[in-house]
Amino acid sequence: MELRGKHLIGGRIAAEASTTFQAAVAATGEPLDPPYYEATAAEVDSALRGAESSFDALRGSAHEVRADLLDRIADQIVALGDALLERAHLETGLPLARLTAERGRAVNQMRLFAELLREGSWVEARIDRGQPERQPLPKPDVRRMLIPLGPIVVFGASNFPLAIGVVGTDTVCALAAGCPVVVKGHPAHPGTGEMLGTAVHSALEATGLPLESFSLLHGAGHELGLALVRHPATRAVAFTGSLRGGRALYDAAAARPDPIPVYAEMGSTNPVFLLPGALEQRAEQIAEGYIGSVTMGVGQFCTNPGIVLGLEAPGLGRFLDAAGRLANATTPATMLHAGIQRTFDAGLERVARTKGVRTIGRSAEPAAGACQAASAVFATDPQTIEAEPHLKEELFGPASIVVQCRDVAEMVRYAESLEGQLTATLHGTEEDLRTYERLVRVLERKVGRLVFNGFPTGIEVCAAMHHGGPYPATTDPHFTSIGTAAIHRFVRPVCYQGFPDAALPPELRNRNARRIWRLVDNQFTKEDA
């Protein structure tokens, strides 16, 4: 398809500003056509007013219609074919094989949410039937379910242009809930975003839903994002990116006359704890999986294992030797864009220069001027990592630090000192879990997902997944940004008391026409009330 470099606002192509920016080939820095127009304040207002005007029609549409919309978006993305993958490869540097797999994830999660809508129980219908004869006071008839919030602003992520981008989980579950969406595309891959945006518009046309239910705006600066958050029609925000960016949006939303939620996923160091039983049995195998996880996607995952803690023992020595050899053997690889590469290089050198830190493995240096990262693994002790706070910060790229602990008490102290994390991983035996139960209990308070004998990179998109965690990993640990439970970010409960049956939403009426699971008088059932 021909790229226009313009915004998709409802059903129209728009570009009012004279200011433009260009994406670049990630590997070389060469500018990519076309130039993209910066969204104006008027275009922000037009997109969100359109979203607001479409809300009643979208939320009032049948679940089957919205499920059909998601299936059609998936079909449209597949129909874009290799052109989508090739543009994404140019803009992000991600290999075509990785992008092909990511497209599969994006399409599958759309179909997963379509299934969720067709099944229908996600609305969490609760019915407490009235008891007018109850003494000393009658019991009223009370019924409750989840309803959509309204227009949602979505910020596309840099590292998953297809699965957490313009039509990623945030957009998909908002549309599934019945919420219109306005997306701020990521400026590093606007061409990819434009192609995905057209897929949504085509699907909306085919289902007869309002075209104003989706808009895509482009912009390279921070002003656009803040304008979207501050607009009075915006009801919630979804963001994946840096702590600095997420916190700025959160603060802007809190400062509104009517504060709104910002669901920001901002990354973490995802500590890995190596317990004695596992080190004794399979130190080298753990090292292999560890280096594979550190270097996966050039380390550009929010679940990248940035810190490893192991008890000093012969098994830890074997782990360090194997990890060092494997890190030395890796080759530099292209990062998403030059800004990420510069930040990573600066952070890598700061760690390498820190007193008390030694390098145990590092790949060859990239060619001069290349937008590439060298992989590196460092080692230190608990005293150094406590004395140098920057060692605890996320280093977004293929690097990690191993902390050699003298006893489990040092591990537990580190766990207790942790800020909120997306994940923590334990490598051990079942006996280790019993022996070091205290460590597990501490980590439960600090993270959103605990992994046993695996690695946190590679997230299964499913109903049970929780991709979130206490601040600063996210701004709200109650919610996930991956998996079908992500839909709960964009809905709220409404209670109906004393309403006649015919005036209730179908899900709360006495006759359970959709045969969904409902909590009726404290019992889950699919029967009529």
Tokens of 259: 């504060």
Is position 265 annotated as part of the catalytic site? yes
> Using CA atoms, how far apart are residues 333 and 375, in angstroms rounded to an integer?
9
b/e per residue 230-240 (b: at least 16 CB within 10 A): bbebbbbbbbb
- Among the options 38, 43, 52, 265, which is catalytic? 265
Long-range contacts of 362-370 (CB under 8 A, 24+ apart): 362/327, 362/328, 363/327, 363/328, 363/329, 363/330, 363/331, 363/332, 364/331, 364/332, 365/332, 366/332, 367/332, 370/27, 370/332, 370/334
* Nearest-5° Cα angle at 501, 496 to 503: 70
- Separation CA 194–CA 357 (nearest Å): 45
DSSP-assigned letter for residue 302:
T
Helix axes 314-329, 276-295, angle to 10 degrees: 10
Q: CA-CA distance, 46 to 325, in Å (whole number)?
A: 56
Q: How far apart are CA 109 and CA 483, in angstroms?
A: 8
Q: Is 302 a known active-site residue?
A: yes
Main-chain dihedrals φ then ψ at residue 420, nearest 5 degrees: -60, 140
C-alpha to C-alpha distances, 93 to 34, 78, 159, 346, 349, nearest whole angstrom? 18, 21, 10, 20, 23
**Helix/strand/coil (H, E, C) string of 393-421?**
CCCCCCEEEEEEECCHHHHHHHHHHCCCE
In the structure encoding, which two tokens stand for residue 350, read together? 């700061």
Query: Contact at 8 Å (CB) between 239 and 246?
Result: yes
Which residue in the list 179, 302, 371, 405 is annotated as catalytic?
Answer: 302
List residues with catalytic annotation: 265, 302
